[in-house]
Amino acid sequence: MILAAMGVSFASCHDLDLTPLSQGSSESWYSNENEIRMSVNNFYKIDFWGQDGDDNHDWSDDGMRRQEPSEIERGVLNGQSGIVSTLWNNQYKLIARTNTVLESVDRAIENGANPAKINQYIGETKFARAVAYFKLVSRFGDVPLILTNINIEEGLTKGRTPKADVIKQIYQDFDDAIELLPTTTSGEVRATKGAAMAYKARASLYLGDFSVAAKAAKDCMDLGVYSLHPDFGEFFHASTRKSPERIFAIPRSIELDQYVGSYLAQNVLPRTRGGWMAKCPSWALLASFTCTDGLPVDESPLFDCHDPFKNRDPRLSETIIPFGSVFLGVVFDPNPYTTQVMNYNTGSMVSNTDSHGVAEYASFNSLGWKKGVDESWTQNGYKTENDLIDMRYADVLLMYAEAKIELNEIDQSVIDAMNEVRARAYGVDKSDTDNYPEFTILPQAKMRTQLRVERRMEFANENRRFSDIMRWRIADQVYTNEYAHPRDVAKQKKNVDDDNWFWPCNPEIDENGIPTFEHMAATGCVDLMSKRNWDDRQYLWPIPTNEVLINKNMKQNPGY
């Protein structure tokens, strides 16, 4: 809605003697409160809030696109990679726009703009710039710190600023935003005081400043504005537009031409509902969810490798489509012998194109995404309008807990934060410990593992996992051999006949909560995919090649 309003307001003038408003010239713009507001609105453009994944790949080990690993997984990321230049260019484009607003607000005040509203817009501007620089330093390390408008000549000689100096500016911008932003807004989706606190917590946690992270997260919690949505699965549906769990989100609307295109939707949807199911959850994710006793699958007596959805954390069945369940009105069953399934939308049996026994290009590993997918995805030409939820209260709770664990300050407040998230998954209050597996105070190493597993279960398919892998420095363990269910139908049927479906044995879980499948492959029931080749140099991304070529002061990161 914001972008649509801007599109109308910035319509070019036809009088050639006037500066076209579509250009937003600094000589004719920023002269009143409305123009400042419209300029700040542009900071909410969805391109500036891109996440750790693209239309083809989940960059983490949570998902896969058939047997095609991403360039990150293959260890071939370079300065000409599209994901590298896109992140760099979009964030510096945002930074340039924030700098322009900050240098121009005095003009609006001189012309009688309301100082209180201008201060709010300054807060939004500082918030946007802080997030942009955080994204840059977390991927590239040292980056040019630019706080004023510069010309092309200056830009061509600008070198990289030490990361520590950029981080100081990030924290200062967040603190300024916290001071200036309102606690709540009404009628519009805008940055708030809580959003600035939450993003400061995320930035400082990812950068290893655990004391700063703990305080920022606690400050957000103490606002008393946010709480968890009662229903975990419902929270992610396109129809859930308002929730006390939302802290910062970018709205989408098909009516206003802001939506996710059919390519993504059909890549995710089951074939029985017109999709391709080319993008799917990984086996590693399926194995990562704990059982209802709180134990991992290789320790819990409740786990049944032949029925992997049984006795599992409820978030699993809200994240990955359970076998035999009715999803979008059709039974989902990848069993190779199940050639027909019931379509309850029509009341008739239909060909089971989600089984390799019927369709060669059914889900590569027999799994499908459920989280966030609802009936609306099959309508409007497969356009989807799920809002981009970039910060929610569950993240604040778990960031607080993680920061305190890393500080080895594990107390009841840590346990309460983690239990609040887990209890919601089970649909009970955290005090109802008889009906969910509660956390208790344990040694730091054990608490760290539990926290990391909890984050993976809670944020699957929300593009949080890749950043977690990077900051925990566990990529060398994550990006190893991957296994997928054999696509050969005869072998699949033999597994069913030999009672080796869905898995022949339990996966094993390491000390970081990462599943391994070597012993499963040794049974001969599971086929090995192509080996992935992680390279440690990718903990820092390369500076875009064109930046290095045109600027002698722009030095490349090691290994590229």
Q: Kindly indicate the confidence band of residue 10, based on its pLDDT and cuts at 50, 70 and 90.
A: very low
pLDDT at 402: 98
Supply the CATH classification number for the domain 2-237.
1.25.40.390
The DSSP code sequence of 378-415 is: GSGGG-B---EEEEEHHHHHHHHHHHHHHTT---HHHH
Closest CA to 129 of 158, 100, 164: 100
Q: How far is CA 318 from CA 158, 279, 387, 512, in A?
A: 48, 17, 18, 23
More confident: 521 or 482: 521
pLDDT at 55: 65
Closest CA to 330 of 313, 347, 343, 314: 343
Note the maximum CA span of the chain.
81
Q: Are strands 63-65 and 279-281 parallel, antiparallel or unpaired?
A: antiparallel
Q: Kindly indicate the confidence band of residue 15, based on its pLDDT and cuts at 50, 70 and 90.
A: very low
More confident: 90 or 512: 90
Q: What are phi and psi of 524, to 5 degrees?
A: 85, 0
CA dihedral 416, 419, 425, 427 (to 10 degrees): -70
Q: Vertex 7, ends 6 and 11: CA angle to 5°?
A: 110
Condensed to tens digits (0 to 9), the pLDDT of residues 354-371 reads 999 999 999 999 999 999
pLDDT at 482: 66
Q: Kindly indicate the confidence band of residue 13, based on its pLDDT and cuts at 50, 70 and 90.
A: very low
